[in-house]
A and B are shown apart, each in its own frame.
Chain A
Amino acid sequence: MATPEQRVTERVEGAVQAPASSEPAPKLTFEAKNVSIWYGQKRAIDNVSLNILSKAVTAIIGPSGCGKSTFLRALNRMHELTPKTRMEGTVLLHGENLYSKTVDPAIVRRRVGMVFQKSNPFPTMTIGENVIVGLRLNGVRNQKFLNERLEKSLRMAALWDEVKDDLHKPGTSLSGGQQQRLCIARALAVEPEVILMDEPCSALDPIATAKIEELINELKAQYTIVTVTHNMQQAGRISDYTAFFYLGRLIEFGPTTAIFTNPTERQTEDYITGRFG
C-alpha cells in the first residue's frame, strides 16, 4: 500500500513525465464534446465542443450570463454542486472521461484545481495551514513533506518572500491580492494538472491584478490554465487561446492574437470592440 505522500508524488511525477514523450503536435488537456448543461429548465451551455491545449493559458470571454463560468466549472465537476443541474456530453481529461460513472468527483478536483473570483482562505486557519490543508485532508501526515510543499507552493505563487515570517498568522490577515495568491498556493499544493481560474482578478486593484497576471504567465510553464475573465485587455495580455461564449454557445475559439485581430465571427468582433456586452 502506498502512503498518501507516495500516491501524491507518483501521480505528480506521472503528470510531469507525460509531456516528455509528447509528439510535436500540441497536447490536449481537455476535450469537451457536445457539452450541454441545464439548470432546472434553463439551458446554460448549448452543445459546446472545445479542446484545451496543455501548458497554455486559455481565456474564456463573453458577456455576463453567457455560460463561461458554468463551462469552466464543468471542467472539474464543480457545477454539480448547484442543485438541479443536468449535463449531456463528455469531457475528457488527458483522454479520460471525467464523467464516467466510476470516476469520483473528488479525484477529478484533485487533478483539476480551482481559484475563485473572491479570495476565500479558510478563516479558522493560519497562512501555513491554508496552503497545506488540501494535502492534510487528503491524508498526508509527513511533516517534512508538508513543510517542503508549503514553501514550494508559496514560492510558486510568488508569496513566499512576503509571508515566510508570518506563516502562523491567520490567512485572512493578508491583503486582498495576497489572499488570492494564497488561494493559488493552496490550489498548487495538491499539485493538480490543471488550474481553473474564475475571474481571479475581478475583485483586485490594478497592482494586485498585475501580480496575478505575471504569476499566471509563470505558471503556464508547468500547468494548463483555463481562466474566465470579463476583462478583454486581460484576456489579450495573459492568454494564448481565447474562447468566446455567447448565450451558452461557443461562438469562436482560436489563438488569442487571431481572435483579437481578425475574428471570423461578427458577434466576436462586436463583443471585443465593445459594441455590446
Chain B
Amino acid sequence: MRSKRTDNHTWRKIKSALASTTAFVSAILVILPLGLVFFHLLVNGITSVNWDFFTKLPAPVGEVGGGMANAIVGSLELLAIAGVIGIPVGVLGGVYLAEYGSARINSVLRFLADVLNGIPSITWGVVVYGLVVLRFKSFSVLAGGLALALIMIPLILRTTEEVVLLVPNGYREAALALGVSRWQTIVHIVMKTASKGIITGILLALARIGGETAPLLFTAFGNRFWNHSLTQPIAALPLQIFTYAISPYDDWHRQAWAGALVLVTGIFFVNITVRILTRGRGASVA
C-alpha cells in the first residue's frame, strides 16, 4: 500500500516534468522564428540603414546608394488613409454589434466579419483594382488606402466588439439611471471604459496592414519618386522591399534588407506600445 502510493507519486512527478518541459520547448519554438528573423534582418540590413536610407529617393538603376524616403512616407500616407476610412467604420460597427442589433442579425454579421478576416489579402487588392483602379484608370494612393482599410475593418470590428462586451452592464445601467441617453451612455461611459482595448485593436490592425504587400501590388502600385497626388501611384515600404528583393542587383538586395529591418522594427514598436497600454489590464476593463 505504502510503496504503491510512493510509486504513484513518482510517476506523477515524471508526468508533470514531462508536460512542463514540452510546454517550455514549444514556447521556445514559437519565439525562435521571431528571434531568427530579427537577427537575420539585423545582420543583413543594419549596414544599409543610414541617413541616406531615410532621406533619399531610390537611386537610378546602376547607381549605388539612394534610400527609401518616399516609400517610408508612402507607407505612412497609406496607413493614414486606411485609418481614416477603416477606424471609424470598424469601431462603430463593433459598437453596433455589441450594443445594438438583434441576436440573430448580429450572429450573421459576426460570422461574415470572421469570413472577411480569413480572406487572403491579395483578394482585396484585386477587388479594389476592379472597383477603383479600372474605373479611374489609374493606380492611386486612395485605391491602396482603401484596400488596406478593407482588411482593417473586420479586424477592428471584432476586437472592438469583444472589448465593448467586456464592459460590465452595471455601468450602462448606472448611466441610463441618471437619465443619460443611450448613445451618450455608449460614447461617454461604455466606449470610454473600453477605450484602452479599442485603441489596442486599432494599433494591432495598423501593425498588421503596415506589412501588407499583396493588396498594394495593383492598387498603390509603387513609385520610384515622390507622390504629389492622392490619385497617383505611391511607393510603400513592403512594395519597395518586394521590388528590390526580386531584382538582380546586390545593392538593391541590401536596401531590401534594410527596408525589412525598418518595417519590422516599426511594427515591433507598435506592439510595445500596445503592451504598455494594456499594462494593468486587471485594474480597469479591457
Residues of A within 8 A of B (CB): 76, 78, 81, 106-111, 113-114, 116, 118, 120, 122-124, 133-134, 137-138, 172, 183, 186-187, 190
Contacts and interface: CB of A to CB of B under 8 A. Distances in A.
Contact of B285 (A81, A108, A116, A123): A123
Contacts of A186: 174, 178
B193 A113 contact: no
Contacts of A137: 175, 178, 180-181, 184-185, 188
Contacts of B182: 106
B174 to A, nearest CB: 5
Contact of A76 (B171, B177, B181): B177
B232 to A, nearest CB: 43
B179 A106 contact: yes
A186 B177 CA distance: 10
A225 B181 CA distance: 23
B201 to A, nearest CB: 17
B114 interface: no
A65 to B, nearest CB: 19
B176 interface: yes
A114 B177 contact: yes
Interface of B: 168, 170-182, 184-185, 188-189, 192-193, 195, 283-285
B193 A110 contact: no
A79 B253 CA distance: 66
Interface of B is mostly: helix
B179 A109 contact: yes
Contacts of A123: 171, 193, 283-285
A113 B173 CA distance: 11
A192 to B, nearest CB: 8
Contacts of B193: 122-124
A138 B178 CA distance: 9
Interface of A is mostly: helix
B170 A109 contact: no
Contacts of A138: 178-180
Given A124-B192, A124-B284, A109 B176 contact: yes
A78 B178 contact: no
Nearest to A83: B103
Instruction: State the 5 A-B residue pairs at the shortest beta-carbon distance, nearest first.
Output: A110-B179, A134-B178, A114-B177, A120-B170, A109-B179
Given A78-B176, A120-B174, A123-B283, 20 more contacts: A78-B173, A78-B177, A81-B172, A81-B173, A106-B181, A108-B179, A110-B178, A116-B173, A120-B168, A122-B171, A122-B192, A122-B193, A123-B171, A124-B195, A133-B188, A137-B178, A137-B181, A137-B188, A138-B180, A190-B178
28 contacts: A78-B176, A81-B176, A106-B179, A106-B182, A109-B177, A109-B178, A110-B178, A110-B179, A113-B178, A116-B170, A116-B174, A120-B170, A120-B171, A122-B189, A122-B192, A123-B284, A124-B193, A124-B195, A134-B180, A137-B178, A137-B180, A137-B181, A137-B184, A137-B185, A172-B284, A187-B177, A187-B178, A190-B179
A44 to B, nearest CB: 17
A183 B184 CA distance: 19
A106 B174 CA distance: 12
B79 to A, nearest CB: 28
B176 to A, nearest CB: 6
A114 B171 CA distance: 12
A190 B176 CA distance: 12
A118 B170 contact: yes
Contacts of B192: 122, 124
Contacts of A78: 173, 176-177
Contacts of A118: 170
Contacts of B283: 123
Contacts of A124: 192-193, 195, 284
Residue with the highest number of chain A CB atoms closer than 10 Å, among B171, B176, B178: B178
Contacts of A183: 174
Nearest to B181: A106
A2 to B, nearest CB: 17
A133 B192 CA distance: 13
A124 B167 CA distance: 12
A138 B172 CA distance: 15
A123 B188 CA distance: 12
B178 to A, nearest CB: 3
Contact of A113 (B168, B171, B177): B177
B179 to A, nearest CB: 3
A83 B193 CA distance: 23
A114 B172 CA distance: 13
Nearest to B102: A83
Residue with the highest number of chain A CB atoms closer than 10 Å, among B168, B177, B179, B180: B177
Nearest to B189: A122
